[in-house]
Structure 1
């Protein structure tokens, strides 16, 4: 890797700001839930509605967001999104201090933060190719993903420690500060991006531009296979993730501390997977790395139903299986994810990056609500453990579109996308 790009002060500013933003998001997500449950005494339906308000935005505006991100400067988009998130989150502690905090406020904040997060995430995934040269994209993504996993690992723990000292709404100030710091880091990040030049016929025609992004994903043979694999993979992964808390807390009988420990092991595995991805990419082809990542994740997903089988004989063994399994699962998942994100960014023209990423995210996030419903329906109908086995089998099947992707790349992708870049740590 060239020291002039990823190791540059410019990239470090962006990286640092994104790390703070990720920590803020993790802290804010927990703080929002605790505020609803402990201070506003929200019931189960209200908590579910609050969660839905944060995620449904991808289905509602995900595709149009890709068009708008391609029309405007990506760094400016992230700056405005960070600032709006800061102001929205800041309203929670201010209204709590005045005694005017209500569930309606939390719903509104969740929707506002969710909407601008759609724009931020699409712009963020489309920005790395603008910021660093093509040969440095893989390592840049690996470093960004590694710190994202660190925030997943440490953010909720930090929020929990803070809430032992101050109330949940006050903790939201940390979230707001993190978004503000991200905004300031973005203002100091420099790039050479030019405003996208949409054709006169397409300018102002939202559906036309959305269709262009969807068409690219559908017709680009490599990205089409990635979209198929990720859509199916996320469906079965969501099925398993939906039932794991029930497995751990009810079927096996562990407490919430054990569930948190399992999630922590998962985040630690994510850090390892993100750091391994560039090294694996040096030695293996893109398709091999992605296939190995998916197969590793599917193999360790077996830990969930296996733990249920082991639990009647030894809860210690069941716990060990779950901890090792979650660690290995996320190692494989991040090996795949870092590699596929870098590949997509390399294959896609810069003027289509926003729409391509939005189309992919629409597929990925669109499968989650349906998968959760299917998991609940099957779990109550045939049982939690049989449903988990179905999730495991589906996870193995997701590798099928990836197995021949190297051959497809050689036949269809540009030479610059098919080569293996030199990655120097």
Structure 2
């Protein structure tokens, strides 16, 4: 960690309060770039399945394969990505990923205009973008602890989540309107622009290099640990910490059922509830309200309730509202689906802010990439399996019964943090252990 992020303690004096994270130039650039990038992701999150359903006539299972290919790279590539994030310059890695994804997104309207757009091409673009996204996200999670002080992490993570939720509030509606005006394929021009903006903001950020990156840049490679060993060091770190293990199990279970739900929800809204593309966008936009409200007060809630209690409370209390999603109906009944998604958005926002800040704080700088990658390998590696499960359940049982299974499964994840040491704690231990 750079010297500017270490608070001096002399003769038992309390450390000075850290400067507001909003006065940190590099953080503001990161926040701006990632908010725009998330806006593009939310647009494509609606546009990709609608393109497959409306323009290419994809079945329920074929649409679920798009979700499968989006998340499969986390299972295959996350651990090597962690080694790369700890070894190479983070900014260059992230900019390269943004530019590759920009080109791929811009290729979709070109392929549609020339008559070459089919499910196979869409699968290829989604899969390659998924590989770039894995590397980008592993590097991205390693950036924040280098540009923000430890005492600023909760506030910084909360503001990043608010940016994501603001994008989620606007993005789906923008996507639905654009699809209605210019068609699903041309909507991806917005994604290309978003990735370009993200790359430009990253180019302006000054990100301190980690100790292993500085050694590599100076060609001091003697005694380097074999790559296979490096890939498992993040897992070894997590195994010795019961709280991280509980968070890992909770997040993994929740993610599995949530992505199963995501794989079928557009089909459910369009086919069962007869929603238009604009209505689909509005439903997903409503879901962001919960995350925005929670993100605005996350730091205060964490201090008032306790940074440990917040984690299990966020996973447990909103659960009954998830049941509104399979209870939704056509017309005004669509609002129930949006409210259920809003409750889940509030859960995700508060839970991820608290658990992510703790993970970043206790993880040594030289292990940030590999610990982040280990979490992603497991928590996000189950997502392709969840996507296939959602598609199969929707095909075999019907979309509404499949949704009941998914929302109850997501709520059940709270058991892991309720039965962990978090249940008897108010706050997380501050020191790295």
Normalised TM-score (structure 1): 0.83
The one of 370, 382, 389 aligned to 1:367 = 382
Q: Does 1:255 align with 2:275?
A: yes
* Structure 1 match to 2:13: none
The one of 175, 190, 196 aligned to 2:191 = 175
* Structure 2 match to 1:339: 354
* Structure 1 match to 2:256: 235
Paired with 1:407 and 1:120, the residues of 2 have a C-alpha distance of 34
Paired with 1:387 and 1:90, the residues of 2 have a C-alpha distance of 34
For residues 37-56 of structure 1, what are the structure 2 equivalents within 5 Å? 41=56, 43-44=58-59, 47-56=63-72
The one of 62, 67, 76 aligned to 2:92 = 76
* Structure 2 match to 1:142: 158
Q: Does 1:218 align with 2:218?
A: no
* Structure 2 match to 1:155: 171
The one of 296, 310, 321 aligned to 1:300 = 321
3-state SS of 1:416 partner: coil
Paired with 2:395 and 2:119, the residues of 1 have a C-alpha distance of 31
Deviation of 1:49 after TM superposition, in Å, equals 4.1
For residues 45-124 of structure 1, what are the structure 2 equivalents within 5 Å? 47-96=63-112, 101=117, 103-124=119-140
Paired with 1:92 and 1:239, the residues of 2 have a C-alpha distance of 26
Identify the range of structure 1 (105-114 vs 13-22) with the bigger mean alpha-carbon deviation: 105-114
Paired with 1:381 and 1:169, the residues of 2 have a C-alpha distance of 30
Deviation track 1:85-118 (CA, whole Å, cap 9, x = no partner) reads 1222233344555555555443332222111111
- Distance change in 2, residues 1:87/1:246 (3 Å): closer
- Distance change in 2, residues 1:326/1:89 (3 Å): closer
Deviation of 1:357 after TM superposition, in Å, equals 1.3
Identify the range of structure 1 (48-57 vs 106-115) with the bigger mean alpha-carbon deviation: 48-57
Q: Does structure 2 retain, via aligned residues, the 8 Å contact 1:285–1:406?
A: no
Deviation of 1:34 after TM superposition, in Å, equals 5.0
Paired with 1:6 and 1:53, the residues of 2 have a C-alpha distance of 37
Paired with 2:355 and 2:366, the residues of 1 have a C-alpha distance of 19
The one of 331, 355, 358 aligned to 2:373 = 358
The one of 172, 195, 208 aligned to 1:192 = 208
Q: Does 1:19 align with 2:26?
A: no
Q: Does 1:280 align with 2:280?
A: no
Structure 1: where are the runs of 5+ without partners?
Answer: 419-425
- Distance change in 2, residues 1:177/1:302 (3 Å): closer
Identify the range of structure 1 (79-88 vs 392-401) with the bigger mean alpha-carbon deviation: 392-401
Paired with 2:331 and 2:118, the residues of 1 have a C-alpha distance of 43
Identify the range of structure 1 (380-389 vs 72-81) with the bigger mean alpha-carbon deviation: 380-389
Paired with 2:268 and 2:107, the residues of 1 have a C-alpha distance of 37
Structure 2: where are the runs of 5+ without partners?
Answer: 1-16
The one of 22, 28, 34 aligned to 1:6 = 22
Paired with 1:48 and 1:386, the residues of 2 have a C-alpha distance of 16
For residues 342-421 of structure 1, what are the structure 2 equivalents within 5 Å? 342-375=357-390, 390-391=405-406, 393-403=408-418, 404-406=420-422, 415-416=430-431
Deviation of 1:73 after TM superposition, in Å, equals 2.0
Q: Does structure 2 retain, via aligned residues, the 8 Å contact 1:244–1:304?
A: no
Deviation of 1:22 after TM superposition, in Å, equals 1.2
3-state SS of 2:380 partner: helix
Deviation of 1:290 after TM superposition, in Å, equals 0.9
Count of paired positions: 408
Q: Does structure 1 retain, via aligned residues, the 8 Å contact 2:68–2:387?
A: no
- RMSD over aligned CA atoms reads 3.4
Identify the range of structure 1 (336-345 vs 371-380) with the bigger mean alpha-carbon deviation: 371-380
Deviation of 1:285 after TM superposition, in Å, equals 1.5
Paired with 1:378 and 1:169, the residues of 2 have a C-alpha distance of 29
Paired with 2:414 and 2:66, the residues of 1 have a C-alpha distance of 34
Identify the range of structure 1 (99-108 vs 130-139) with the bigger mean alpha-carbon deviation: 99-108
Identify the range of structure 1 (390-399 vs 227-236) with the bigger mean alpha-carbon deviation: 390-399
Q: Does structure 2 retain, via aligned residues, the 8 Å contact 1:27–1:158?
A: yes
